[in-house]
Amino acid sequence: RKEVEQDPGPFNVPEGATVAFNCTYSNSASQSFFWYRQDCRKEPKLLMSVYSSGNEDGRFTAQLNRASQYISLLIRDSKLSDSATYLCVVPYTGANSKLTFGKGITLSVRP
């Protein structure tokens, strides 16, 4: 299994839809996880952190399933402004603290 794998995309949904992305990881020792958002031709920015079973922020919910080694991001009531690429990020413990990014999932929300 690759270090981080994300659902293939792109996703094209109407405004108001609920959409979910999944991301699997290979290192069972990883303790914290992140979702980043990247707009077209811009740098990635942190969207949410996931340290335990889950985290909710408004329309966004991130969940962690340690047994199956995957994290998910749920977006409810999609807005046009949610159109972007969503990257899951998995760090590795110990002295090797590199953070590995998934390939990214592109979401397009249409009117």
Partner 1 sequence: GAGVSQTPSNKVTEKGKYVELRCDPISGHTALYWYRQSLGQGPEFLIYFQGTGAADDSGLPNDRFFAVRPEGSVSTLKIQRTERGDSAVYLCASSQYPPGELFFGEGSRLTVL
In the complex with partner 1, the residue whose CB is nearer, 46 or 76, is 46
Q: Where are the beta strands (DSSP E) in 1-111?
A: 4-6, 11-14, 19-25, 33-38, 45-50, 54-57, 60-65, 70-75, 84-91, 99-101, 105-110
Tell whether residue 37 is a contact of partner 1 (CB under 8 A).
no
Of 18, 26, 49, 53, the residue at the interface with partner 1 (CB under 8 A) is 49
In the complex with partner 1, the residue whose CB is nearer, 87 or 109, is 87
What residues between 65 and 104 interact with partner 1 by CB under 8 A? 87, 89, 91-92, 95-104
Tell whether residue 28 is a contact of partner 1 (CB under 8 A).
no
User: For residue 15, what is the DSSP state?
Assistant: T
Transcribe 48-78 into DSSP letters. Answer: EEESSSEEEETTEEEEEETTTTEEEEEE-S-
The minimum distance between CB 31 and partner 1, in angstroms, equals 9
Binding site for partner 1 (CB under 8 A): 6, 32, 34, 36, 42-46, 49, 87, 89, 91-92, 95-104
